[in-house]
Amino acid sequence: MTEDSRRQQAEDLFHQAHQLQSDGRLDEAVRLYQQSITLFPTAEAHTFLGWTYSSMDRLDDAISECRLAIGIDPDFGNPYNDIGAYLVQKGQIDEAIPWFEQALDAPRYESYCFPHVNLGRVYELKRMWVRALGEYRRAATEKPDYGPALEGMARIRGYLN
């Protein structure tokens, strides 16, 4: 099998896995993500496998997959943000901050509003209102209709008034 055919088959499996994940068929999605990775490992496949694991409350496995994704493509921002989110879920709020910051520094990321909102939430949990508001504002600048950013700004304004 040529590299191009392996890559194409891996991509097809990735898309099938993503559909299964969206349908809530997580065990099947895991199997197809793993097959995709075996054929042609990508940062995206590892990241989405991690996301699936997180939906199964397997946060340590999710973090491991994101670390593998970073090893494949350190410019891809999603796994940094995801590791931060999983650490927040585990109650490791301070440890999450540098991961969100790395997501914001990553050259390849579809929407930087996500790590901004996640940082806003962390700062809000730490009662650092001004910093939280700044992150929510940056998220809203990135994506003006992003509900979590708008809601975060409204909450913080309520705390400050």
What are the residue boundaries of the structural domains of the chain, listed by start? 1-95, 111-161
Give mean pLDDT, residues 147-154.
97
Please say whether the beta carbons of 66 and 74 come within 8 A: no
Q: Find, among 54, 20, 21, 50, the residue nearest to 37 by Cα.
A: 50
pTM: 0.94
Q: Is residue 2 very low, low, confident or very high in pLDDT (cuts 50, 70, 90)?
A: very high
Write down the pLDDT at residue 124: 96
Domain 1-95 CATH assignment equals 1.25.40.10: yes
Please say whether the beta carbons of 14 and 42 come within 8 A: yes
Summarised one tens digit per residue, pLDDT across range 75-105 is 999 999 999 999 999 999 999 999 999 999 9
Please say whether the beta carbons of 76 and 108 come within 8 A: yes
